[in-house]
Amino acid sequence: MSRQLISRSVDLQRLREEGYDLEIRAGFLLVKDVPYVNSKREVKQGTLVSTLTLADDVTAKPDNHVAYFEGEHPCRQDGKEIEQIKNESVRKALAEGVWIDHTFSAKPKPAENYEDYYAKMTTYVAILSGPAQAIDSTVTARIFPVIEPERDDEDAVFKYIDTASSRAGIDLVAKKLALKRVAIVGLGGTGSYVLDLIAKTLVKEIHLFDGDTFFQHNAFRSPGAPAGEELRAKPNKAAYFRDMYSKMRLGIIAHEAYVGIDNIEVLREMDFVFLCLDRGTAKRFVVGKLEEFGISFVDVGMGVYASEGSLGGVLRTTTSTPAKRDHFRTRVPFSDGDGENEYAQNIQIADLNALNAAMAVIKWKKLFGFYLDFDHEHYSAYTIDGNALANEERQE
């Protein structure tokens, strides 16, 4: 209820977006960690409390100008109490878990009451924190706290709330990516960056497939910064990245094996698949099955070569959907290579991995309506030396 009330109420959402630490408890609005000065001229933090007037599931105009405070009595910079807001001072419980020590009265002028809770709470915060900031200019009530999901929120994906989407006002757009299951086949350089990007979306389950070990050279073309002891443990790639991103979100499932005949049926349940495989023969098998299952997928690849002491090459993303598959086999190589590709020698080019992953994820987001898609291209190639992007194989 607290999360929904804040997100639906413009004044409370504005407070949260500006970094105030809010909580709704037993029908009261709490603003925590408000700096103030006590009688010893010490800077402390207290909690500002207000009753809440609601109209169904959103806030209405506050029904009074009174506020409460938990903490010592706020003082001016010289340690004398702020008299103009002083009212009753007695410790008592307003509700279960809501304790106060003081009651304050600061009427807005010329009106009898505040327009909304943003105006009310920021007015009181300014009165209380002004003297504290005169002593220490770094203190503020705008602390941008970590915001955790509601305990009873069964739809929660993240272990703390996605405030980036709410600040940008794109919550409804972000929900277009709330798919049930997405798979990443191959957790090398590009696949690991694909994970980094889709881990920040509302996909319920992200399935990781890789039977390889996360070695030292992988650390230089993957997101993150593993410690030496982590590398010495020689973890499986899928397990390593599951543990990394499970700090942030739920629903990351590691399959510590390559995709093959024994586990291919797992992909039948996916809403979308990212193919990030180097081995062409393995890719041919997976592609055939994904087409049989009727699943949309995108394949990534790059060809990097040395020329006059520098590197050049092309990054490719090839998309296949039930509406358009005829181009795929003419655009994607299925050989295992001849060892001439500089990338196969583990050149550390994390920026190209990240760019290739971003191209694939952007296309995925286009397919599900997150981004506008006018051309419906199913093949894109980025050439490094000319900084050129070609878009072809458009869906009619």
Give the confidence band of 347 by pLDDT, cuts at 50, 70, 90. low
Same domain, 204 and 345: yes
Same domain, 341 and 250: yes
**Structure tokens given for 100:** 């106060």
Position 1 scores a pLDDT of 47
In a domain, 152, yes or no: no
pLDDT, tens digit (0-9, with 9 covering 90-100), for 67-115: 999 999 999 999 999 999 999 999 999 888 899 999 999 988 777 789 9
The stretch 244-267 carries a mean pLDDT of 96
In a domain, 143, yes or no: no
Same domain, 321 and 215: yes
Q: Are 184 and 274 in contact (CB under 8 A)?
A: yes
In a domain, 108, yes or no: yes
Of 364, 370, 287, 291, the residue nearest 324 (C-alpha): 291
Q: Are 263 and 296 in contact (CB under 8 A)?
A: no
The stretch 111-124 carries a mean pLDDT of 92
Same domain, 214 and 298: yes
Same domain, 346 and 254: yes
In a domain, 140, yes or no: no
Position 346 scores a pLDDT of 43
Note the pTM of the prediction, 2 decimals. Answer: 0.76
In a domain, 227, yes or no: yes
In a domain, 363, yes or no: yes
Instruction: Please check the confidence at residue 251 and state whether its pLDDT lies above 90.
Output: yes
In a domain, 151, yes or no: no
- The one-letter code for the residue type at 270 is M
Q: How many structural domains does the chain have?
A: 2
Whether a cis peptide bond, with omega within 30° of 0, leads into 110 is yes
Instruction: Please check the confidence at residue 343 and state whether its pLDDT lies above 50.
Output: no
- The one-letter code for the residue type at 13 is Q
- Per cent of the chain over pLDDT 70 is 93
Which of 3-17, 74-88, 143-157 has the least mean pLDDT?
A: 143-157
Q: Are 160 and 146 in contact (CB under 8 A)?
A: yes
In a domain, 37, yes or no: yes
Same domain, 196 and 122: no
Give the confidence band of 342 by pLDDT, cuts at 50, 70, 90. very low
**Residue 101 domain boundaries:** 2-135
Which of 7-11, 47-51, 246-250 has the least mean pLDDT?
A: 7-11
Instruction: Please check the confidence at residue 348 and state whether its pLDDT lies above 70.
Output: no
Distance of CA 79 to the CA centre of its chain: 43
Instruction: Please check the confidence at residue 341 and state whether its pLDDT lies above 50.
Output: no
